[in-house]
Amino acid sequence: MKALVVLLGLAALAVSCQSQDVSPASSPQKESPPPRGCCDGATLSERPAPLLKEPEPPREAGQEEEEEDPFYRSPVNKLAAAVSNFGYALFRQQSGQSPSANVLLSPFSLATALSALSLGAGERTEDVISRALFYDTLDKANLHSTYKGLLGSIGAPSKGLKSVSRLVMERKLRMRMAFVNELEKSYGFRPRVLSGNARADLQEINQWVQQRTGGKVVRFLGEIPVGLSILLLGAASFKGQWATRFDPKLTKLQDFHLEEGRSTRVPMMSAPRAILKYGFDSELSCKIAQLPLAGGLSIMFFLPETLTQNFTLIEESLTAEFVHDIDKQLKTVQAALSVPRLRLVTETKLGEALKEMRLQALFSTPNLGKISAKALRLSHAHHKVALELGEDGASAVFPSETEAARLNFPIVYTLERPFLFVLYDNDTGTLLFIGKILDPQQA
């Protein structure tokens, strides 16, 4: 992947960024996506051509490959990168199917359910799942035990994430106990076999999800789907805390520009002297900011330079490795920061998106003989998530004027038009939530 080069021209940032955030433009991006781009913090209105590293000479035959990033030497981190790349791919599919609506996913819950399903698959079907989850380069002998370690890390109470996964099976299915026991050992849940009493089954499934998401995800299913063979269940809730809280007294209703000539009023949280990591990606034409959250998590915002609902260039660049590299190379700056208060609940049927991700065979005639002697197939995939990011924070306030003075020439970073975000775990790099927010008020 092309290295990102961060060039901060702080002397010009104050003027240019303030002028940049006053009035959004309107033309969407339509050209073909470039290679992953250069990230810099130079002036936005009078930015020079990005500075790139000198190209490396071609490798001679037998010359050693570039050394692997130490971050990915850990089996858990390698696995986290794989399931995160599945998450980015799933997001691209769903975003393409919903071009004019918010998209909010917690892909880790779906990846967990799919990985668990692979325990019951024959060789060919297992390969189908492995390719979709980017397991090709992983040590498959220890895959499920490594996933158990990843689940333990992500599920730490300090992170504030409730992620749940389950396999719901057709009525009165006789399952092989070896599969059930291995599923519970590695993934921490037992499959739910429908009893045939639709009302009782619906109540049990919804109560199970509600309880395990801290009461945040309610009424996961409206009804038991017709023709259910295997339902892939993924749900998550997150009530986040910033590393530094916003002052509620500074939260005001402000315009959020939806598209040319149309806006809505949203509660906008403000911090006049925030300290954050920042850069500008000239190839993706977006301003990137990263803010720390409590519990060892981070959120990264991608704000296009112009008012647009087309995020294709950004979406196609997103991988676990790309986000990791950006995180390392953004520069710490002082910023006048404004962020919409987010309280979002979304419900999504993901069967069609999964079929487009090399998983079509799971919906037709897969070999799931390790689950049961009866022929089974994946018939439904249901996802529901709740995310809340308000003013709450772990520490009292943003830095004082004296502390912030160390970083001169503050920039302005205002999320007052459609943006994209990724929320991830710092220790493992796991993608926990990803969202395309066209309207913060959209249900």
pLDDT digits (tens, 9 = 90+) for 41-76: 433 332 333 322 333 444 444 445 557 789 999 999
Mean local confidence (pLDDT), 9-14? 37
- Rounded (10°) angle between helices 75-97 and 320-329: 110
Q: How many domains does the chain have?
A: 2
Whether residue 248 lies inside any domain: the answer is: yes
What's the rounded Cα separation, in Å, for the pair 439 and 436? 9
Same domain as 247, residue 235: no
Asked if 319 and 380 sit in the same domain, the reply is no
The CATH code of the domain that includes 258 is 2.30.39.10
The confidence score (pLDDT) of residue 405 equals: 54
Confidence category of residue 22, pLDDT binned at 50, 70, 90? very low
Q: Is pLDDT above 70 for 346?
A: yes
Residue 416's pLDDT is 97
Phi–psi pair at 288, nearest 5 degrees? -115, 130
Mean pLDDT of 87-100: 96
> Is 224 in the same domain as 259?
no
> Which residue type is seen at 426?
N
pLDDT score, position 33: 40
Write out the chain in H/E/C secondary structure. CCCCCCCECHHHHHHHHHHHCCCCCCCCCCCCCCCCCCEEECCCCCCCCCCCCCCCCCCCCCCCCCCCCHHHHCHHHHHHHHHHHHHHHHHHHHHHHCCCCCEEECHHHHHHHHHHHHHHCCHHHHHHHHHHCCCCCCCHHHHHHHHHHHHHHHCCHHHCEEEEEEEEECCCCCCCHHHHHHHHHHHCCCCEECCCCHHHHHHHHHHHHHHHCCCCCCCCCCCCCCCCCEEEEEEEEEEEEEEECCCHHHCEEEEEEEECCEEEEEEEEEEEEEEEEEEEECCCCEEEEEEEECCCEEEEEEEECCCCCCCHHHHHHCCHHHHHHHHHHCEEEEEEEEEECEEEEEEEECHHHHHHHHHHHHHCCCCCCCCCCCCCCEEEEEEEEEEEEEEEEEECCCCCHHHHCCCCCCEEEECCCCEEEEEEECCCCCEEEEEEECCCCCC
How many angstroms separate the Cα of 243 from the Cα of each of 251, 253, 299, 397, 424? 18, 23, 11, 9, 14
**Confidence (pLDDT) at 65:** 54
Mean pLDDT on 350-358: 95
Share above pLDDT 70 across residues of the chain, in percent, rounded to a whole number? 81
Percent of the chain with pLDDT over 90: 78
Higher pLDDT pick, 326 / 16: 326
Query: What confidence tier does 407 reach under pLDDT thresholds 50, 70, 90?
Result: low
In a domain, 163, yes or no: yes
Residue 362 is predicted with a pLDDT of 98
Q: Which pLDDT value is given to residue 269?
A: 97
The domain of 153 spans 70-240+344-388
Same domain, 204 and 309: no
Say whether pLDDT at 273 is over 60. yes
pLDDT for residue 223 is more than 60: yes
Q: How far is it, in rounded angstroms, from Cα 278 to Cα 8?
A: 9
In a domain, 113, yes or no: yes
Q: Is 402 found in the same domain as 358?
A: no
Q: What is the CATH number of the domain that holds 137?
A: 3.30.497.10
443 falls within a domain: no
pLDDT over threshold 80, residue 168: yes
**Between 404 and 199, where is the model more confident?**
199
Digit-coded pLDDT (tens) for 31-44: 334 334 444 443 33
**Same domain, yes or no: 138 and 175:** yes
Distance CA 195, CA 171 (A): 5
Q: In this structure, are 334 and 254 located in the same domain?
A: yes
Q: What is the pLDDT of residue 400?
A: 53
Residue 154 pLDDT: 95
**Angle (nearest 5°) at CA 410 between 407 and 416:** 140
Specify the pLDDT at position 261.
86
Q: Does residue 26 fall inside a structural domain?
A: no
Instruction: Answer yes or no: is 51 within a domain.
Output: no
| 148 and 96 share one domain | yes
* Domain assignment present for 162: yes
Domain boundary among 370, 388, 406: 388
Instruction: Pick the range with the lowest mean pLDDT from 20-24, 288-292, 302-306.
Output: 20-24
Q: Which token pair is 49?
A: 């051509």
Confidence band for 10, pLDDT divided at 50, 70 and 90? very low
Least confident of 363-372, 407-416, 419-428: 407-416
From residue 212, how far is each of 58, 231, 283, 423 by CA, in Å?
53, 18, 42, 20
| C-alpha–C-alpha distance, residues 289 and 437, integer Å | 15
Q: How much is the pLDDT for 40?
A: 47
Instruction: Decide if pLDDT at 5 tops 70.
Output: no
Position 425 pLDDT exceeds 90: yes
What pLDDT, on the 0 to 100 scale, is given for residue 9? 39
Mean residue pLDDT of the chain comes to 86
Q: What is the mean pLDDT of residues 199-218?
A: 97
Question: Per-residue pLDDT for 108 more than 80?
Answer: yes
Residue 328 has pLDDT above 50, yes or no: yes
